Chain A
Amino acid sequence: MSQARKVGLPLMNLVRFKGVPILKQLHLEEKLLRTSSDNWCIINNGTNSPTVVMGLSGKPSDLLDLESVLQDQVPVIKRFTGGGTVIVDPGTIFVTLICNRDAVPGVQPYPRSIMYWSGMLYSEVFKGIDGFQRHYVFGNSKFGGNAQSITRERWIHHTSFLWDFKARNMAYLKLPSRAPEYRLARSHMDFVCRMKDYMPISVFIDKTVKAIGNHFSVKPLDLDVNAVAADFDDAKFVHTTRLLMKQELEEALSVSTRELCHQS
């Protein structure tokens, strides 16, 4: 893109992390969505340990193998955005976009409009990769998933990319009762694939930043997550994203077990 054309583009702060815990990342994202007036791109290369992350309406008993989760003490987070359940770990790459509602021409603050635009953005990133299809698919396997949260003046679109993953971690997740048609009732291992089999990580991140640069004037910020979080006044801000207590998971398991007994 020519320099002249870039001049009129809105500014976007680019923050890059490595191994930041996903709870800390989500708290930062929610805070930036609610209290900042800037546009942000956050890229976190891996989170520090395996963690289950559910959407706002997620029900642990429906979505998780609670016995295994409790036995292995896997943390379970309920995030502030919608969408499904994922298990994230050091092999997951996170790319988050937080934008003012008028930042992208033609994008309305509604989920389908935002996802249509992000679909085009990532099509630029994965263009030329054999088997790539829209919505984070190589062939017929998914390598990422996204979710949104929309306020009156801003929206967030965040994606978790399966750079690599361990099969045993996928076993913590049940088949969701509510799933898109294209899933075809496949197990997790039959439904997902690893990005590292398709492109080098440096190429992915560089192409992502370049694609974002076609819509924003990207300004890298070299800050650690704690410093960025501290920049904003949070006197009245209360996180929605939270770590579920062990007791909650145990109660969910107990209820689920009782329901199963009644049914049999």
Chain B
Amino acid sequence: MALRMWASSTANAVRLSCASRPPLSPAFSLSRCFSSVLDGLKYATSHEWVKHEGSVATIGITHHAQDHLGEVVFVEVPESGGPVKKGSSFGAVESVKATSDVNSPISGEIVEVNTKLTESPGLINSSPYEEGWMIKVKPSNPSELESLMGPKEYTKFCEEEDAAH
């Protein structure tokens, strides 16, 4: 059963993490002034990111996704210990009167959930790759990471997707 988390909503302006040093990644993509795609992560076509470190993979939604979704006012994530399946929904975010599925890029077991999102769902907007992480997973099939996109491929994917609409 999903862990429901309500939040007192505060307006969080989107802040691109160019000035701060994110602990997740040592370097930014230099393709733009304010980077919205980080090196060292893998990306899904449904706009989630994965950071694989040792036996744990951290998952969240990308800057591109939070920008298109608008102000996130509520986050629904599963309880720790449950399974996730590649390509399937594990939770949702609410923004601008819409609930949007968040899908897992990989399969595995949830080992940790970001409980800060209870009171601060806006972290997904202000810090999508750092404090806005959603779940940590123990991958059951690490080879699934190989089918995900790298930073350059994902950047191009986003540009093409936006250009098509």
A positions within 8 Å CB-CB of B: 55-57, 59, 80-84, 106-115, 146-152, 178
Contacts and interface: CB of A to CB of B under 8 A. Distances in A.
B101 A82 contact: no
Task: List the 10 closest A-B pairs by CB distance, nearest first.
Answer: A57-B74, A148-B98, A83-B97, A111-B98, A111-B96, A110-B68, A82-B94, A150-B100, A82-B99, A82-B98
A151 B98 contact: no
Contact of A56 (B46, B94, B96): B94
Contacts of B96: 82, 111-112, 115
A111 B76 contact: no
Interface of B: 6-7, 9, 46, 68-70, 73-74, 76, 87, 89, 92, 94-101, 103, 161-162, 165
Contacts of A148: 97-99
Most buried by B among A84, A148, A151, A152: A152
Contacts of A178: 9, 73
Please indicate which of the listed interface residues A57, A146, A149 has the most CB atoms of chain B within 10 Å of its own CB: A57
B106 to A, nearest CB: 15
Contacts, number: 77
A98 to B, nearest CB: 14
Nearest to A149: B99
Given A111-B69, A148-B99, A57 B94 contact: yes
B24 to A, nearest CB: 25
B46 A55 contact: no
Contacts of B76: 56
B149 to A, nearest CB: 16
Given A152-B46, A152-B103, A178-B9, A110 B97 contact: no
Contacts of A106: 165
A150 B101 contact: yes
Given A56-B76, A178-B9, A111 B89 contact: no
B3 to A, nearest CB: 13
Contact of B69 (A81, A110, A147): A110
Q: A82, A83, A84, A114 — which one has the most chain B CB atoms within 10 A of its CB?
A: A82
Given A108-B161, A110-B100, 15 more contacts: A56-B92, A57-B74, A81-B97, A82-B94, A82-B97, A111-B100, A112-B96, A115-B96, A115-B97, A146-B97, A147-B98, A149-B99, A150-B98, A152-B46, A152-B101
B25 to A, nearest CB: 25
B70 A57 contact: no
A81 B99 contact: yes
Given A152-B46, A178-B9, A178-B73, A55 B68 contact: no
A83 B97 CA distance: 4
A149 B95 CA distance: 10
Contacts of A150: 98-101
Contacts of A147: 97-98
Contacts of B89: 151-152
A77 B106 CA distance: 33
21 contacts: A55-B94, A55-B97, A55-B99, A57-B6, A59-B6, A80-B99, A82-B95, A82-B97, A82-B99, A84-B97, A107-B165, A108-B68, A108-B161, A111-B98, A112-B68, A113-B68, A115-B96, A149-B98, A150-B100, A152-B46, A178-B73
Given A57-B6, A57-B73, A151-B89, A114 B98 contact: yes
A147 to B, nearest CB: 5
Nearest to B96: A111
A149 B99 CA distance: 5
A81 B77 CA distance: 16
A113 B100 CA distance: 13
Contacts of A108: 68, 161-162, 165
A83 B9 CA distance: 13
B120 to A, nearest CB: 14
A111 B101 CA distance: 12
